[in-house]
Structure formats: structure tokens, C-alpha cells
Amino acid sequence: QQQVRQSPQSLTVWEGETAILNCSYEDSTFDYFPWYWQFPRESPALLIAIRPVSNKKEDGRFTIFFNKREKKLSLHITDSQPGDSATYFCAASLYNQGKLIFGQGTKLSIKP
């Protein structure tokens, strides 16, 4: 059973557009949601994270929107740049348990 789901599997947008990556989860007790990005032949790196005490987290061009009632969140990347091309992973966990559960990833391609 996939506890964290991501859509779409792949996404292509033009440079300058806003990319929207979606994530949903099963366990309502999850209380920490980081997004990681991974470039080809590199390891995942933390991009941005949110806890359910807020419904929005912004860091530059990257914003997480969180809907606790629907158990959904999304990552918005505004003014997309070719350097944003990577695979993005949504993850979830219980704050006091450490183990992250990852989604299947969204491969984002930005066309110049």
C-alpha cells in the first residue's frame, strides 16, 4: 500500500511558467512533510518542508500548499528555470519517529 502518492509522474513546463507538483498521503497522523529534489547521478537533497501547523510554506520560488482535511499538499515552483529540472520527492513521517516515507517522485523538465 502506497502511503504517499505523487502526481503527475512526469511534468514538462516552459521556462518562466509555474510548475505544480501534487502529493497526497494516507496516514492522518503524519506531521512532517519534506520535499526532496534529486538531480541525475546525485543524491536527494532537502528542498523545503512543512508541518501541519501551517498551510503554506514559502522559500523563494518554492511554495508548499498544505490541505490537512484532504490530506493533500502541492509544491509550486514559480518562474521555473532549466536548473530546476530534477526529480522531486514528497515525503512524510511522524515527527518523533524519524523514518521518512517517500512518494514515487515527479520528474520535472523545464524547457528553455
Residues that bind another protein (CB under 8 A): 32, 34, 38, 42-46, 49, 87, 89, 93, 95-102, 104-105
Q: How far is the CB of 40 from another protein (least distance, A)?
A: 11
Of 85 and 93, the one with the shorter C-beta distance to another protein is: 93
Per the DSSP assignment, residues forming a β-bridge with 92 are 101
Q: How far is the CB of 3 from another protein (least distance, A)?
A: 11
Grid cell in block for residue 46: 532537502
